[in-house]
Amino acid sequence: MIYFLIAISLAYLIYTLNFTLKFNKTNIYFTKNQKVLQIILMWLIPFLWIIIIKTIIKPTPGSDHFIKKKDDDGSFKGGAYGHG
């Protein structure tokens, strides 16, 4: 029984410490107080809170398609609806 508790505690420590270090290196714009709160919550409820934070900091799928590119030279090209 004691080995099981040691294994669980070691897994908890490694998992939480690993994600805490990764979280501190991210370029997410949290204030200092928000980062401290996030780290405290990671250590209090680690597995659930880390899953929540991972989903928040993950980029939105397809968001790279919304990069503005200037293709339009401002001229009218005709067509049924004004383009094409």
Contact 14, 6 (CB under 8 A): no
> Model pTM greater than 0.85?
no
pLDDT values of the chain reduced to their tens digit, one per residue, 84 residues: 899 999 988 988 898 888 888 877 876 777 888 888 888 888 788 778 778 877 877 766 665 555 555 555 555 555 555 555
The pLDDT assigned to 7 comes to: 92
The pLDDT assigned to 10 comes to: 92
The pLDDT assigned to 78 comes to: 57
Could you give the residue ranges of the DSSP H alpha helices within the chain?
2-25, 32-44, 46-57
CA-CA-CA-CA torsion for 67, 73, 79, 82, nearest 10 degrees? 70
What are phi and psi for residue 52, nearest 5 degrees? Answer: -65, -45
